[in-house]
Amino acid sequence: MSDIQAQISVLKQTADPAVAEAISRLIANGEDHELNRINVLDFSKRAGLDEEQAISGFLHASRMGLFDLTWNVLCPGCGGVLDAHSTLKSLRHDDYHCGLCACGYEASVDEQVEVAFTVSPRVRRIAAHDPHSLPLWEYFKQVFWSSGIDLNKDSFAALTDEVTLDALELPAGEKAVLSLQLPSEFIIVFEPVTHAAHFIDVQGEPTKERQQLSLVYNKAHPPTGNMTLRPGPLRLSLDNQADVRVLPSVFIAGDALHRLLGKRRPFLTAKRMLSNQTFRDVFKADNLNVDQRLKITSLTFLFTDLKGSTALYERVGDLAAFDLVRAHFRALLEIISSEKGAVVKTIGDAVMATFIRPEHAIVAGLRMRAAMEKLNAERGTTDLVVKIGIHEGPCLAVMLNERQDYFGQTVNIAARVQSLSTAQEMHITGPVIDAPAVAEILDREAIRPIPKEAALRGIADKVLVYEIP
C-alpha cells in the first residue's frame, strides 16, 4: 500500500467515509485545476455530499498533509485574491489594495477571506504549484480570481472575446508593443502578477493619429495611473523590469466585465471556518496570534446555563449529578455541531457557542430544549433545565487564554440575555427574530414570541428581547 493510500485509509476512520472516498478520487483522477484552491462548498454540491462533513473531511486531510490550507484575502469588488496566507496568523491589520478596482479594504473575515485547499506537492504535482508556468488565462482563473468567481465555459469565452482588447505574456526583462484600436469605453490595462493597473477614459471625437502610452512593470513600484484618450489607435509600450513574468491585459470595463465578475458562487469563508467545530478541535494552534483582532460584521452567539446546578448536586449527590451534567453536555455539544455551530468554551455548567446564521442557532436552541425534556423523561425527573439566550451582531475574533474567543458588546448582550430565562423558555433579541428564516421556523413550530423590554447588567439602555415559550 502506498503512503497516500495509507493516509486515505486513516482519513476514512476520522472523516465521513463517502467524503474520504470522494477526496481519494479527486486526488487520483481530478484535473490539475480541480486540485488548486478547491472550493469545498462547490465540491460538496457537485459530489452530493453534506457540506459540514466535506469541510471536516478536507480539514482532517489537510492536517494529515494531503492538502495545503490557504486563507485568501479577496477584493469584494472584483473577487480577486489580494493576498494568500498559509495561516490566519499572518493576516495583516492594514488595508489590502486592489489594483483592478483601485480601492483599499480592511480585511473582514465575513466574506473577504476565502478558505481554500490545494493538493500538497508531496502528494501530487500540479501546474499551479508553479503559477508562473500557467497560461495567461489559467493564471487569471486559478491564481488571481477566487473560487467564488463562477468562470464557466460561457463566461470564460466572454472574458476572452468580449471583455479583452489584447493580452500577452511578457517574460522578465523583456519589452513589447501592442497596437490597439481604442473604442469609446473605459479601459483598464491590468497586470495580475504585480496587481498593477492603468485606467484610460476613452472619450471625445475619434482620431486617426496614433496615441502613445508606456508602462514599466516593477514589483517595487507597480504602475497605477489615470488618463484620458480619444477613440482611435494606441501604441502601448510595455517594459517588464520585474523579476518574474507579467501578464498585461487590456480590458473594456463595461457591462460584460461587470456581469462576468458579478456571477458568484458560495465559498468557504474564514468566518464559517472559525465557527467550525472540526477546525477548532484540529487546528487549535493555527487560529490567531495573541495581538490579532479580526473584525466580524455579523455572528450569532448562543449561551446556555444549567438552572439550579448547585441545588442539583445537593439533591441527588455528586456522582448522580455529575452523570446528569455530562449527559446534558453531550447532548448540547452534539446539537451545536450538527447545526453548523461550534463550541467556543464551557464555563462551569454553561456553554458559549457560535453560529454563522441566526436560524441555525434558533433550531439548535429548540433542539436543546427537546433534548433536556427527553433526558428528564428517561430518568423520571425534571432536574435538567437549560436556560438559553441568543443574540446576533458584530464582534472581534481574538485569542484569550491560548484559545480562539470573541470579544465585544454582542457577546456581552448574548450572555446577559441568557440570564433572563428562569425555566425552559428561551430569550432572543431583535436581530435574531428579524432574520426571515427565523420567522419561518417560529411560524412552522407555531411559536408566538413574547416581546418585552429588559434591563441587562452592564448595558446602559433597556433592550427589546423576545421570550420563546
Q: What is the DSSP string of 270-333?
A: HHHHHT-HHHHHH-GGGS--TT--EEEEEEEEEEEEETTHHHHHHHH-HHHHHHHHHHHHHHHH
Please say if the pLDDT value at position 223 is more than 60: no
Confidence of residue 65 (pLDDT cuts 50, 70, 90): very high
Chain-centroid distance, C-alpha 172:
35
What is the side-by-side strand order in the sheet with 175-182? 175-182, 232-240, 211-217
Percent of residues, the chain, with pLDDT higher than 70: 94
The three three-digit cell numbers of residue 351, written as one number: 456553554
Highest averaged pLDDT of the listed ranges 25-29, 313-317, 373-377: 25-29
Mean pLDDT to the nearest integer, 403-425: 89
Confidence of residue 311 (pLDDT cuts 50, 70, 90): low
Mean pLDDT to the nearest integer, 168-189: 96
pLDDT at res. 316: 62
Task: State the DSSP H helix or E strand holding residue 116, giving kind and residue range, or none if neither.
Answer: strand 113-119
The three three-digit cell numbers of residue 65, written as one number: 498533509
**CB-based contacts of 199: which residues, under 8 Å, 6+ apart?**
102, 186, 187, 188, 189, 225, 226, 227
Mean pLDDT to the nearest integer, 83-89: 86
What does each C-alpha distance from 288 to 280, 283, 296 come to in angstroms? 11, 11, 14
Higher confidence at residue 312 or residue 87? 87
Higher confidence at residue 284 or residue 115? 115
Nearest 10 degrees: CA dihedral of 267, 273, 274, 276?
130
Higher confidence at residue 333 or residue 88? 333
Mean pLDDT to the nearest integer, 457-461: 76
Task: State the DSSP H helix or E strand holding residue 403, giving kind and residue range, or none if neither.
Answer: strand 403-407
pLDDT tens by residue, 259-283: 888 888 999 999 999 899 999 888 8
48, 55 contact by CB (below 8 A): no
The three three-digit cell numbers of residue 414, written as one number: 448574548
Please say if the pLDDT value at position 302 is more than 90: yes
Please say if the pLDDT value at position 157 is more than 90: no
18, 49 contact by CB (below 8 A): yes
Angstrom distance (rounded) from CA 431 to CA 420: 17
Name the H helices within 111-212.
136-139, 153-158
Least confident of 131-135, 179-183, 280-284: 280-284
Please say if the pLDDT value at position 217 is more than 70: yes
- Bridging pattern class, strands 386-400 and 426-429: parallel
Least confident of 116-130, 211-225, 408-422: 211-225
pLDDT at res. 117: 97
pLDDT at res. 309: 61
pLDDT at res. 152: 76
Least confident of 61-65, 180-184, 394-398, 459-463: 459-463
Higher confidence at residue 93 or residue 146? 146
Beta partners for 116? 70
Highest averaged pLDDT of the listed ranges 107-116, 333-342, 399-408: 333-342
Concatenating the DSSP letter of every residue in 81-101 gives EEEEESSGGG--SS-EEETTT
pLDDT at res. 197: 93
